[in-house]
Amino acid sequence: MIINGPNLNLLGKRETNIYGSLTFMEFLDTVVKKYPDVELEHFQSNIEGELIDKLQDVGFSYDGIVLNAAAYTHTSVGIGDAVKAITTPVVEVHISNTFSREEFRHQSYISPNAKGVILGFGLQSYELAIESFI
């Protein structure tokens, strides 16, 4: 399960110098074709509680979760607690290298309970996370 947080529905038209010009659906299409044997699902929400609900829904039965909590990464104790509460391993991903950006992006409430963290490789960060589960 790939879970995307706030504003990631705007990929392709949002700060393209940082996030690139592909929409997430365009990217996902290529990934689905590349890994035909992997059952991939995608969920995006701009709402913190919906992200927590989805983590709880899938977090005791799915093989893996690729989570880009976007801005909530840096603010949400609730999402951090959800990642801690569930048993499905979570790989945290970011498109950009958050450590080369503003100081407030250096903090993550997800990382302490993630299986691993992949960031800074553009949309390829997601692919690397999927590869890690394979």
The two three-digit tokens of residue 125, written as one number: 């960060």
Burial (CB count within 10 angstroms: exposed 0-12, middle 13-18, buried 19+), residue 1: buried
The answer to whether the beta carbons of residues 43 and 66 sit under 8 Å apart is no
Rg (CA), the chain: 14
Site track for ligand DQA across 18-57, x = CB under 6 A? ----------------------------------------
Min separation Cβ 37 and ligand DQA, Å:
27
Q: Which stretch binds ligand DQA (CB under 6 A): 26-34, 57-65, 88-96, 108-116?
A: 88-96
Residue with Cβ nearer ligand DQA (11 or 39): 11
Terminal-residue alpha carbon distance, the chain: 13
Min separation Cβ 78 and ligand DQA, Å:
16
Q: Which stretch binds ligand DQA (CB under 6 A): 51-59, 95-103, 106-114, 126-134?
A: 95-103
Q: What is the Cα–Cα distance from 41 to 2, expressed in whole angstroms?
A: 6
Q: What is the DSSP letter of 109?
A: S
Q: Does the protein bind ligand DQA through residue 3 (CB under 6 A)?
A: no
DSSP reduced 3-state for 39? coil
Residue with Cβ nearer ligand DQA (86 or 93): 93
Q: What is the Cα–Cα distance from 122 to 39, expressed in whole angstroms?
A: 22
Among 45, 68, 76, 108, binds ligand DQA (CB under 6 A): 68
Give catalytic residues, as residue numbers: 19, 94
